[in-house]
């Protein structure tokens, strides 16, 4: 039998597919694994258009539901909190590095005023403006290779990217560029960043293979981060960072919410026992200012909000 795995065709997506393939083989999957490249609606978006939320994952998952694929490989942060009925998430392998880094000639604290820093992430732009309001955010879209190529040409001077993606494609900076990891305390990464996911039809992957391939600590962290998104009603376009780290019986969770211009910041750092403890740490994010930011309604300085 053949186990057909769907993946996007970018260099990063193919590297992720090879990683999942290796995990499944090591876990004892005895079917031949065949990678199937899928051009999703997110990939087909027009030049300069932002892909619709979930568009990269949804098209592959439909093919899995229809039986045209046996599994789909995704970046965990691209998956919706609730999967369509009939699909399951049997394997979340060990997580890669979860943080962000600046690809540039200088560290972010030393970049000249007015330097362009590229990203299409509201969270990353807000974090940068919080730390360096004199920098110039530049909308930077495309796959990782495309974005890196633009920075290597100096347009823009720098970009913020996920460390895990650069690790997976084996990127080595050139043209005088360097990789500058950003401190997680000030640049809390996106929920599920660094984690991969295998989605299959319910029961399609043998239980013993799933048990061997799954990484318990990573699954626990990812479930905690997705629970935060669920309870706050936040999506991947919210300027929100969420990172959970397994610590024995507890989980250390960081949450950072910023207004799009970085003028407002709310942060939590706490150790909780499990999902049941998350509600207690979300109180700072339930006021109207926080709700307006999460829901995309924030337009400027709110009444009663002190200036930065």
Q: Annotated active-site positions, please?
A: 77-78, 123-124, 141, 147, 236
Bridge-based pairing state of the strands 158-162 and 240-247: unpaired
The single residue listed with the structure tokens 């809390």 is: 188
The single residue listed with the structure tokens 């360097």 is: 178
User: For residues 42 and 50, is the Cβ–Cβ distance under 8 A?
Assistant: no
Q: Which residues contact 145 (CB under 8 A, 6 or more apart)?
A: 10, 11, 12, 169
The single residue listed with the structure tokens 């590095």 is: 97
User: For residues 243 and 189, is the Cβ–Cβ distance under 8 A?
Assistant: yes
Closest listed residue to residue 144, CA positions, set 103, 114, 113:
103
Closest listed residue to residue 201, CA positions, set 78, 72, 75:
72
Q: Which residues contact 304 (CB under 8 A, 6 or more apart)?
A: none
**Three-state SS for 91?**
strand
Please state the φ and ψ torsions of residue 155, each to the nearest 5 degrees.
-135, 95
**What percent helix, strand, coil does the chain show, rounded to 5?**
30, 25, 45
CA–CA–CA angle 90, 69, 202 (5° rounding): 35
């Amino acid at each position: 039998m053949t186990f057909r795995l769907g993946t996007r065709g970018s260099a990063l997506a193919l590297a992720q597919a090879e990683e999942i393939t290796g995990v499944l083989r090591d876990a004892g999957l005895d079917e031949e694994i065949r990678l199937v490249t899928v051009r999703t609606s997110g990939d087909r978006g027009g030049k300069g258009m932002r892909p619709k939320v979930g568009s990269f994952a949804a098209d592959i998952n439909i093919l899995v539901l229809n039986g045209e694929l046996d599994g789909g490989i995704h970046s965990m942060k691209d998956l919706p909190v609730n999967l369509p009925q009939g699909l399951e998430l049997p394997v979340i392998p060990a997580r890669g590095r979860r943080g962000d880094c600046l690809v540039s000639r200088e560290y972010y604290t030393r970049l000249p005023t007015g330097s362009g820093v590229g990203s299409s992430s509201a969270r990353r732009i807000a974090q940068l403006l919080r730390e360096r309001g004199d920098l110039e955010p530049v909308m930077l879209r495309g796959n990782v290779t495309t974005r890196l190529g633009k920075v290597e040409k100096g347009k823009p001077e720098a970009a913020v990217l996920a460390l895990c993606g650069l690790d997976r494609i084996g990127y080595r900076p050139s043209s005088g560029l360097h990789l500058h990891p950003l401190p997680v305390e000030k640049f809390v990464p996106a929920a599920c960043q660094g984690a991969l996911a295998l989605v299959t039809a319910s029961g399609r992957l043998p239980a013993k293979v799933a048990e061997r391939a799954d990484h318990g600590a990573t699954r626990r962290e990812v479930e905690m981060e997705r629970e935060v998104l669920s309870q706050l009603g936040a999506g991947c376009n919210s300027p929100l960072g969420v990172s959970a780290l397994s610590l024995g019986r507890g989980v250390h969770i960081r949450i950072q919410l910023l207004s799009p211009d970085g003028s407002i910041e709310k942060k939590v750092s706490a150790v909780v026992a499990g999902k049941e403890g998350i509600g207690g740490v979300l109180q700072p994010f339930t006021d109207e200012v926080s709700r307006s930011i999460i829901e995309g309604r924030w337009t400027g300085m709110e009444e009663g909000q002190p200036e930065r």
